[in-house]
Structure 1
Amino acid sequence: MESSVLAFATDLLDEGADAFFGNLADRAGVGGLTLASVYHEARDVFPHNPRRVVRYLEPGAAYFRPDPARWAGRRLAPVPSTAIGERDPFAEAAAEARRRGLRLHAWTVFCHNDRLGFAHPDCAPANAFGDRHLTELCPANPEVREYALTLVDELARYGVDAIRAESLHFHGLRHGYHHERYFEELGAVAEALLGVCFCPHCKAAAAQAGVPADEVQQAVRDELRARLADERKAAEPAALDALADGTVAAYLDSGARTVTSLAADVAEAAAGHGMRLTFMDGAGPGKGWLSGIDLPTLAKAAHQIETLGYARTPEAVREKVAAFALHGVRPQDMAVILRPMAQDCDGPENLAAKIRMLRELGVPEVEFYNYGLMRLSSMDRIGAALRS
């Protein structure tokens, strides 16, 4: 079974290569590093960082040095984090990983990008009223798709083994933003409908599939107005696939085809460079419909599906993997992320039992979240679990 730890480039910069890779190899004993190449905004607490305890990660920043020639004339282009200065932490990590015989994966956040969404609102998803969700990029937009493919080309030059693709899909309304506020109860249906994209590119894709996009948009707009106006209406359940005589469901199916085709294109580009594409589905089976995640087709488009095995017991992790099998994703085509921290594990025996269970199921790869966010004792827990 392959193993790796997810980490930020700032961990490497703050600690230095010797301490950083020493912890990975000597304490955790993993065979790989999954390093963030493009990442979203965050404020995190770093328990063992020697330089700072609280760090802000910039919105939509890149942690490698983009080749200016590749991005000439592009509106959507990665912007290096100010934290890296003139350095290229991805190049440094690649060189050290090769020296130590470790695999390097590029953990890449594609469509959740505040920086690019705010700078180019026409590339962000639009709800039924035309309001742009500026923390995201729309997977149907041709510029966004070109951006995603060029990122793969860029990362290939570092000798990356796999692209861990996070947010290579749509997002719902509550994906997260600072001081995000909902003072009236919207209800599940309104929240779901407010996350559906009706930008010109999504509507064109739906129309090409024979879906009356304008009628669907109007039906969604009317449904939302009714639910926003009346709290009793807001609380009423509704089957989205029954709205507007089923055309809303057909519109959402078009969005799923958009995501699948993008994943297929990115996987093909990665394979052309000798890399794999791992599609990260953090929500889990049956929860990604509104995000355009159709697991059976995505499992064929990508080389691997990765999910979060965040749970207290091995049995609960087993249930998560089994749920994917019911949606056409075999365990041998999966990777699973575990948290060795106390909220999920009460000791190395617990973590070892989860790893043994995943091996028994045939899962070939396990990752651990997240280097900088855990105590060094959790790194020791990984090492003890893998050795056992």
Structure 2
Amino acid sequence: MESSVLAFATDLIDEGADTFFGNLTDRAGVGGVTLASVYHEARDVFPHNPGRVVRYLEPGAAYFRPDPARWAGRRLAPAPSTAIGDRDPFAEAADEARRRGLKLHAWTVFCHNDRLGFQHPDCAPANAFGDRHLTELCPANPEVREYAVTLVAELARYGVDAIRAESLHFHGLRHGYHHERYFEELGPLAEALLGICFCDHCRANAVRAGVPAEEVRTAVRAELRRRLTDEAAAAEPTPLDQLAGGAVAGYVDASATTVTSLAADVAEAAQQHGMRLTFMDGGGPGTGWLSGIELPALAKAAHQIETLGYAKTPEAVREKVAAFALHGVRPESMAVILRPMASDCDGPANLAAKIEVLRSLGVPEVEFYNYGLMRLSSMDRIGAALAG
């Protein structure tokens, strides 16, 4: 079974290559590192960082040095984090990984990019009222799709084994933003409807799929106004697939075609450069419909599906993975992320039992989240579990 640890480039910069890679090999005993290449905004606590315990990660920043010629004339282009200065931590990681016989994976956040969303609102998803969700990029937008494919080509020059594609899909209303406020109860249906994109490109894709996009948008606006005005209406449990005679559900179905085709394009670009595309599905089966995630189709479009095995017991991890088989995703085409920290594990035996469950199911690859966010004792827990 292949193994790696997800990490930030700032971990490498703050600790130095010898300490960073020494912890990966000598403590965790893994065979690879999954380094964030483009990442979203965050504020995190880093238990073993020698310089700072609390760090803010910049919105939509890149942790490699983009080739200016490749991005000439593009509005959407990766912007290097100020944290890396004049360095190229991805190049440094690639050199060290090769020297130590480790695999390097590029953990890449594609469509959750508030830097680019705020800079170019026309590339962000638009709800039924035309309000833009500026923390995201719309997967149907041609510029966004070109950005995603070009990003893969950029990362190929570092000798990357696999692109771990996070957020290569739509996002709902509550994806997360600082000081996000909802003082009235919206209800699950209103929240779902507010997260559907009605930009020009999404409406055009729906029309090509035979869905009356303008009628759907009108129906969604009316339903939202009714629920935003009336507290009793907001609580009504109306199934989404009953709205507008099922046309709203058909519109959402069309978004799955958008996401699947984007994943196929990115996978093809990765393969052309000798890499794999791992589609990261954080929610699990049955949770991604509104995000355009259709697992059977994505299993064919991407080279691998990765999911979060966050659970306290090995049995719960088994159930999470087994659920994918019911949606056309075989365990042997998956990767699973485990957390070795106390929130999920009470010791090496617990983590080892989870790893053994994955082996017994035929899962070929396990990853551990997250280098900088765990104590060094959790790194030791990984090493003990893998050795056991």
Scaled by the length of structure 2, what TM-score is found?
A: 1.00
Which amino acid in the other structure matches residue 177 of structure 1?
Answer: Y
Point out where structure 1 has 5 or more consecutive residues left out of the alignment.
none
Matched, 1:17 2:17: yes
1:222 is matched with 222
Which amino acid in the other structure matches residue 283 of structure 2?
Answer: A
Which amino acid in the other structure matches residue 383 of structure 2?
Answer: G
Query: 1:216 Cα shift?
Result: 0.2
Query: 1:270 Cα shift?
Result: 0.2
| 1:35-79 CA distance string (max 9 Å, x none) | 000000000000000010000000000000000000000000000
Query: 1:239 Cα shift?
Result: 1.3
> SS in structure 1 opposite 2:76?
coil
Runs of 4+ in 1 over 4 A off after TM superposition: none
1:133 is matched with 133
> SS in structure 1 opposite 2:367?
strand
> SS in structure 2 opposite 1:38?
strand
2:61 is matched with 61
Matched, 1:303 2:298: no
Matched, 1:98 2:116: no
1:147 is matched with 147
Q: How does 1:166-177 map to 2 (within 5 A)?
A: 166-177=166-177
Which amino acid in the other structure matches residue 214 of structure 1?
Answer: E
The 2-side partners of 1:237 and 1:169 are apart by: 26
Point out where structure 2 has 5 or more consecutive residues left out of the alignment.
none
| 1:236-259 CA distance string (max 9 Å, x none) | 112111110111111011100000
Matched, 1:287 2:287: yes
Q: How does 1:1-388 map to 2 (within 5 A)?
A: 1-388=1-388
The 1-side partners of 2:231 and 2:138 are apart by: 31
The 1-side partners of 2:238 and 2:309 are apart by: 31
The 1-side partners of 2:76 and 2:218 are apart by: 31
Query: 1:283 Cα shift?
Result: 0.7
The 2-side partners of 1:69 and 1:184 are apart by: 49
Which amino acid in the other structure matches residue 360 of structure 1?
Answer: S
The 1-side partners of 2:10 and 2:3 are apart by: 21
Which amino acid in the other structure matches residue 167 of structure 1?
Answer: S
The 2-side partners of 1:316 and 1:274 are apart by: 35
The 2-side partners of 1:245 and 1:80 are apart by: 47
Query: 1:209 Cα shift?
Result: 1.2
The 2-side partners of 1:329 and 1:180 are apart by: 35
Query: 1:312 Cα shift?
Result: 0.2
Which amino acid in the other structure matches residue 286 of structure 1?
Answer: G
Identity of aligned residues (%): 86
The size of the alignment, in residue pairs, is 388
Query: 1:81 Cα shift?
Result: 0.0
The 1-side partners of 2:172 and 2:97 are apart by: 36
Query: 1:15 Cα shift?
Result: 0.0
The 2-side partners of 1:210 and 1:279 are apart by: 28
The 1-side partners of 2:18 and 2:274 are apart by: 28
Which amino acid in the other structure matches residue 238 of structure 1?
Answer: T
Which amino acid in the other structure matches residue 259 of structure 2?
Answer: V
The 2-side partners of 1:364 and 1:279 are apart by: 15
Over the residues paired in the alignment, what is the CA RMSD in angstroms?
0.4
Query: 1:321 Cα shift?
Result: 0.4
Which amino acid in the other structure matches residue 191 of structure 2?
Answer: E
> SS in structure 1 opposite 2:329?
coil
| 1:128-164 CA distance string (max 9 Å, x none) | 0000000000000000000000000000000000000
| 1:350-377 CA distance string (max 9 Å, x none) | 0000000100000000000000000000
More divergent stretch after superposition (239-248 vs 297-306): 239-248
> SS in structure 2 opposite 1:355?
helix
The 2-side partners of 1:322 and 1:231 are apart by: 40
Which amino acid in the other structure matches residue 33 of structure 1?
Answer: V
More divergent stretch after superposition (222-231 vs 82-91): 222-231
Query: 1:210 Cα shift?
Result: 1.2
> SS in structure 2 opposite 1:183?
coil
Which amino acid in the other structure matches residue 92 of structure 2?
Answer: E
The 2-side partners of 1:242 and 1:229 are apart by: 21
The 2-side partners of 1:210 and 1:326 are apart by: 28
The 2-side partners of 1:309 and 1:45 are apart by: 22
> SS in structure 2 opposite 1:33?
strand
Query: 1:208 Cα shift?
Result: 1.1
The 2-side partners of 1:347 and 1:141 are apart by: 46
The 1-side partners of 2:306 and 2:187 are apart by: 30
